[in-house]
Structure 1
């Protein structure tokens, strides 16, 4: 959508049309296309309506940053669809160094906070996917069980292009493959899952105070995390 940064509105209204492939978005009865000229056809009406609403909400100047659902659909159609296996493998690799597995060795209060917050999610992943990831103390790399990692990798590869596009943001923004799975599975409210990814940062803020610039960046990431979650919810409706 980079080419639209300076583009002006050229349509009056956006609408959804059902097709054999899914649900298309049209601008004044013309098919909406991605930056790579792929027709925007998505799997559910709810997702198509959300994209159409973003285009209807535009002012005289197109603002791509105000269209997170459109941008994620573009990623699914232009990027993930062209390299699904590569994207899935890249995300699956997060399991080997998952945020939830790397624990502090001190102070004891932080060690306990991490265990109380993260152990239930690891337990859920073990029960749900047959993949037991083990927590380790310190920052030195320690390998995880190969069978557990393979189980998670296969689950990532099962995702369609649209789910994988959302999953990409959920995993990369949180730093956790397990939290990504928890988000697409509605294991807990999305705000709670984001907070779980910020245990270490919250601890540091309690000790040393908040950094305004860091807080602003965290809010941007949180919004993107929630947008990815919303995209996946729309994909399933």
Structure 2
């Protein structure tokens, strides 16, 4: 496999207003996505974040160091063209949400789940108008159709940029409710992430940390926090 990377070819970047939003120019040449679409961003703040990433490149371009650019590309090249499919996939989390499935034992784990997860479900009922029901055990039980459909409508209402961010907020946390909670500032993103990891934290307390699992979890945490930032920059 070739390890060739494209070279930096520009001197400076600039954020410019364009039809439908903002874009980034490199020495006057507008940046395009990998699919050759125009890189049109919804806010100046997002465009500035993308421009900073391009400015930070040195001799070679390293996409791994450009998370905002990668997220914007995904929103334009992928989510825009598969909006309904992505929205449906994420909305389906509502019928089997992580927060709804509770341990029956040990008691301490069940207590922690109730203590940390019930407030999120209460928030969703009050703020989103969707009350999901708690289930004992892991066997799937359908949620009330009215609540699921209401959540589905809210997911479909997200534009491509917010939906791209929302995809990671939901899939990384395993919870549609926590995805909405992060997007709508229920609590700080780090706290919401810790809430989503309650079961894993419990297992680590009982059996000790696994170095590979800790490293993988930290990568996911960083991605979750980035998704929150990207979501906020899209508004």
Structure-2 residue corresponding to 1:75? 74
Normalization by structure 2: what TM-score?
0.97
The equivalences for 1:66-105 within 5 A come to 66-105=65-104
User: Any idea what SS the aligned residue of 1:125 has?
Assistant: helix
Task: Give the CA deviation at 1:13.
Answer: 1.6
- Matched residue count: 234
Task: Give the CA deviation at 1:120.
Answer: 0.4
Task: Give the CA deviation at 1:53.
Answer: 0.3
Q: Once structures 1 and 2 are overlaid, which stretch shifts more, 99-108 or 11-20? A: 11-20
Task: Give the CA deviation at 1:20.
Answer: 2.5
Structure-1 residue corresponding to 2:127? 128
- Where does the alignment leave 5 or more consecutive residues of structure 1 unmatched? none
Structure-1 residue corresponding to 2:169? 170
Structure-1 residue corresponding to 2:142? 143
Task: Give the CA deviation at 1:5.
Answer: 6.8
Confirm or deny: 8 A CA contact 1:5 1:62 kept in the other structure: no
Structure-1 residue corresponding to 2:204? 205
1:38 counterpart = 2:43 = no
Give the distance between the partners of 1:116 and 1:174, measured in 2 at CA: 18
Structure-2 residue corresponding to 1:11? 10
Task: Give the CA deviation at 1:4.
Answer: 10
Give the distance between the partners of 2:172 and 2:148, measured in 1 at CA: 20
- Where does the alignment leave 5 or more consecutive residues of structure 2 unmatched? none
Residues 110-165 of structure 1: CA distance to partner in whole angstroms, max 9, x if unpaired?
Answer: 00000000000000101112111111111111110011000000000110111000
CA RMSD of aligned residues (A): 1.3
Confirm or deny: 8 A CA contact 1:5 1:64 kept in the other structure: no
Task: Give the CA deviation at 1:109.
Answer: 0.3
User: Any idea what SS the aligned residue of 1:228 has?
Assistant: helix
Structure-2 change in CA distance of 1:4 and 1:20 (3 Å)? farther
The runs of at least 4 consecutive aligned structure 1 residues that moved more than 3 Å come to none
